[in-house]
A and B are shown apart, each in its own frame.
Chain A
Amino acid sequence: AQRVTQPEKLLSVFKGAPVELKCNYSYSGSPELFWYVQYSRQRLQLLLRHISRESIKGFTADLNKGETSFHLKKPFAQEEDSAMYYCALRRGSTLGRLYFGRGTQLTVWP
C-alpha cells in the first residue's frame, strides 16, 4: 500500500526566514512525487514534480529514497507563499491517480 504523510498541519514563519514543509511516503515501488499548492480562493495547481528537478518560485524539493522523503524547501519565505501545500504520490502503473497527504497550511508573517 502507499501512503503520504505530512506531519505538520500548520506551519508559520516570518518573511525572509527559511521554510521546510515535510513529506514522507511509503511505497515499495518507484513513485513519482509532486508538490501541489492551493492559494486562497484558487484552484489546486502543480508546484513541483521530482522528475523535472526544477526550482519554481524559489522552492526546491529533493527525493530522498533512503529516507522516503520529499521535503519542500525555500531559503527565504515571502508573504505570497502563504497557502495550503499538498504532497502527492503517483505509482507508475496508475497515471491518473494521485495519493495526497493531508496538507500543510503555511503562513508567512510580515
Chain B
Amino acid sequence: ETGVTQTPRHLVMGMTNKKSLKCEQHLGHNAMYWYKQSAKKPLELMFVYNFKEQTENNSVPSRFSPECPNSSHLFLHLHTLQPEDSALYLCASSQGQVAGTGELFFGEGSRLTVL
C-alpha cells in the first residue's frame, strides 16, 4: 500500500461537468504536488503546496483549480475541461526542504477521460 492515495482511479466526464480529484498522504509530509502525464510527453508539474500554501502554479489553465485544506489532503477541481485534458493525473508528497523538494512519493494516479 502506498502512503499516498488518490481517488477516483478512473474518471470519465463531459466537457460541461464539474468533478474533483482527491489525494491524501499518510506520510506526515508538508508538501504536496499535482503532476499531469499525457501520452508521449514527460511528466508536467502543475501545482505545489507547502504547508497548505500554494508555492508553484506552472501556468496551468484556470479550468483546473487546486485546493489544499491541510497538509494531508489535496484536491484538484475540474470544470469545463477539454478533450486534450485527458491524461493521468498524479499526486505526490514530500518532506519539502528549504533547498528543494526532498524525496518525492507518488500516488497511483487518476486516469481522466474528457469526452
A binds B: no
